[in-house]
Each structure stands twice: as structure tokens, then as C-alpha cells.
Structure 1
Amino acid sequence: MSLCGFTDDDFHDACKELDEPQLEGGWELFTETMGVQIYRLLDKETGLYEYKVFGVLASCTPELCADVYMDLDYRKKWDSYVKELYEKDFDGHPAIYWEVKYPFPLSNRDYVYARERRDLDVGDRKVRVVLARSSSGTACLEKSGVIRVKDYKQSLAMESDGDSGTRIFLNYFDNPGGMIPTWLVNWGAKTGVPGFLTDMQKACNNYAKHLQKK
């Protein structure tokens, strides 16, 4: 068990999805666009969907993708939805605080979550895995006018596509709370994920310049 509460099995489960997507038990193909397949599974308790994403970032190595994904300061420069993002120690619990901009008239959402990266050797392959989930035990006061997302999880696995790109698997669920229409949540998933991957690819391509400026 790691300091963040993740187990070895959690990391290896994310790796397995790259070899053989685990889609039993009600997963359905939600949309396919720009070479990205998005599957969803209804969470009956909340009425919201959990998502699995499979795709390729064509011109970014796995090492570069992982480094860009982990770099919070850089994320603030390329992700236009970030209002505030930083890592700090909350009463002995290291966690990340992330406030996300929502369009008017919706309230912004914020997250407090634990995150860990591991670079795994799987046979003769190297797979980079990043896990994240809500850290409810952290002493981070909620802000007035911002809705705290208390149920959030994400796993990301990345490996070489055999060329100069990266095969990715992404699994995520969050409950944004408040009164957001289902159609808007679905629209956000259908357009937001491919948009995020496009932005991520641009961010990877510009990362060397960013590091030179530091």
C-alpha cells in the first residue's frame, strides 16, 4: 500500500486495460472520434456515468506524456479550464487542490485529491501509470460559491505505440454535484475528452520550450 492508499493491483489493473480492455458488465461504446474510443458505464447509485477512454497520441513519447501530465505548473499554462492548481501538505496529507472553471451560470467545482505515478516494467515493455482519487480526509476548507467534488477517481496508463507515439488508457468518474442537466454532463464527456487529448498533444509538443523558459 502506497502513502496515497493505492495498491500494486490498482496499478497493474490499469496496465491490463492496454492489453485487453475490460468492458464486461454493462460498458457501452459512447462515441468514437479522432481515433479515440470512449466507453461508459451507468452508475445506478448516482445516475452518472463512469468512462473508459482508449486512444493514441501520435507525436508524443510515453515519458513525455507522463512528465507533462504530472507538471502542475505547466498545466496551468495550457489548460484553459484551470482556475487554481497546486500541491501542498494538508495536515500531514500531501494532496492536490484543483479548481475548475465552469461556464456561467454554473458554479465552479474544486477537487482535493491524492495522486501517484509509477513506471512499471511489464515483460519487455515499460508502462507509465498515474492514479488519482478524492482525498476526503484532507483539511482543506471549502470555498463559498465553489462546489467541492467529493467523489472522483482517475487512472491513466501510457505505453509506446511502437512508433513515436503513445497508446493511452484513461478511466475516470466524478460526481460534479449540484443541478447540472444530464445532457450537459454527456456533452462535456463527448467533446471534452477529445478536446483535452488534443490540448495535451499540443502541450507535449511545446514542453521543451516551456522548460527552456524556466
Structure 2
Amino acid sequence: MSPQFTDEEFQSAWRELDEPRLEGGWELFVETMGVKIYRLYDKETRLYEYKVFGVLATCTAELCADVYMDLAYRKHWDSYVKELYETDFSGQTAIYWQVKYPFPLSNRDYVYVRERRDLEVDGRTVRVVLARSAPDLPCAESGGVLRVKDYKQSVALESDGGCGTKVFMNYFDNPGGNIPTWLVNWAAGTGVPDFLTNMQKACSKYGDYRQKK
């Protein structure tokens, strides 16, 4: 059984590369290292949803998408990954991901489904990856680790016309527990640009990694 993402969800993601949708309360949160991050306050959860727009100047969209999808490789370059692997839950392929949190906070883990599609749009190739939590799948929770049950992320990648990649990312998660405001702001304002920088570095080393496998 494949993840149930609709054609419209994929279309909605790539369209933001051309026309960012920022009406309805979106505010510019931070701009750094060529990355703009907007946020939207959710009254129900009292948390923010984020949209990220930027350019990875030194790697192609195809390479970015391949690196983003490679779970085994991510464990080599993303220092916040505690565990990350694809597995089968009652016939549904899903991903288990445990994220390291700073002491004294508990680690968080996710069970989610994802799908990648490479779309042809008026002669352009746009690579879109959608992911969302799948809390109903039978994955036992670990002691001392909080399960994130409300998570979604979409990523759209397209050539910038040169050697780089235009990136759009939309994400929300509810980590539960009492997360200090400073940590939430750091994760969005600094952690996301750092992640994109580290991913760009990872792209430059991906060929060597593949050869050694």
C-alpha cells in the first residue's frame, strides 16, 4: 500500500516555487543565508507552521532530491538523527525517525509516510516530496521518548537555471511536552538554515559515499 497523497497536494507544493502563498496571517520570521522563513500562528495548538524559501547554490535539484530521500546517508550527515529507517507496519511502508533533543528534554520520535514524485511542468522538472505522520500505524512507543503524532512536511526542488536548486519547504509538527520558546525559535530560525547548509555539504560528498557502499 502506498502513501495516500493526492495529485492536488503535489501540485500545491510546486506552485509555491512560482507564487508563494503568504496571505492569511503569514509573517516573515527570519531571513538568513539567502533563506526566508515565514510562520503562521495556529490558535488551536498555539504553535507555528513554517514556510521556507531559498536556494542551494552548489547542487542540482536531482542530487538534492536523491540526498533528501536517502535515509541511510542522512544518518552520516545529520547529527540530530538518533534512529532513522524504513520499515513495514501491517503492510504499510513507513519511516521511523528518532530525533535527539538537548538535555534535559526527552527525544522525540516520528512514524510517518512519504512519497516522491518528479513532475514535468511546462518543460520544467520539479521534484516534490510529501510526508506526514501516520499515528494509527502499530509502532510501539519507547520509554523516555515522546511520540510526535501531528507532523507534515512538503518539499519542492527545481533547478535555479544554473548549477543550483530553488527550494520550497512547508512544515509543521507538534512536539508535545513543554518545549522552551527559545528552543522552538532556534529550531526554526537557525536549525532550518543550518539543515539546508549541511544538506548542501552532504550533496557534495554523496558521490564518494555511494562509491564506498
Per the normalisation by structure 1, the TM-score is 0.98
1:61 matched residue in structure 2: 60
SS at match of 1:153: strand
1:84 matched residue in structure 2: 83
2:99 matched residue in structure 1: 100
Q: Distance in 2 between matches of 1:48 and 1:181?
A: 12
**Residues 186-197 of structure 1: pairs in structure 2 closer than 5 A:** 186-197=185-196
Q: Distance in 2 between matches of 1:46 and 1:187?
A: 19
Cα deviation per residue 1:101-144 (whole Å; 9 max; x = unaligned)? 00000000000000000000010100000000001121100000
Q: Distance in 2 between matches of 1:210 and 1:108?
A: 28
Q: Distance in 2 between matches of 1:119 and 1:26?
A: 31
Unaligned runs of 5+ in 1: none
SS at match of 1:104: coil
2:48 matched residue in structure 1: 49
2:15 matched residue in structure 1: 16
Q: Distance in 1 between matches of 2:100 and 2:149?
A: 17
Runs of 4+ in 1 over 2 A off after TM superposition: none
**Residues 27-46 of structure 1: pairs in structure 2 closer than 5 A:** 27-46=26-45
Q: Distance in 1 between matches of 2:127 and 2:183?
A: 32
The CA deviation at 1:3 is 2.4
Query: Is the aligned partner of 1:3 residue 2:2?
Result: yes
1:183 matched residue in structure 2: 182
Q: Distance in 2 between matches of 1:187 and 1:100?
A: 15
Q: Distance in 1 between matches of 2:111 and 2:187?
A: 21
SS at match of 2:195: helix
1:125 matched residue in structure 2: 124
Cα deviation per residue 1:11-57 (whole Å; 9 max; x = unaligned)? 00001100000001000000000000000000110110000000000
1:71 matched residue in structure 2: 70
Task: Compute the RMSD of aligned alpha carbons.
Answer: 0.8
Query: Is the aligned partner of 1:198 residue 2:202?
Result: no
Q: Which amino acid aligns with 2:25?
A: G
Q: How many residues align?
A: 213
Q: Which amino acid aligns with 1:108?
A: N
The CA deviation at 1:148 is 0.2
SS at match of 1:206: helix
1:151 matched residue in structure 2: 150
Q: Distance in 2 between matches of 1:4 and 1:195?
A: 29
Q: Which amino acid aligns with 1:5?
A: Q
The CA deviation at 1:184 is 1.7
The CA deviation at 1:195 is 0.3
Q: Distance in 2 between matches of 1:109 and 1:136?
A: 14
Unaligned runs of 5+ in 2: none
Query: Is the aligned partner of 1:137 residue 2:140?
Result: no
Q: Distance in 1 between matches of 2:186 and 2:65?
A: 27
Q: Distance in 1 between matches of 2:35 and 2:29?
A: 11
SS at match of 2:44: coil
1:208 matched residue in structure 2: 207
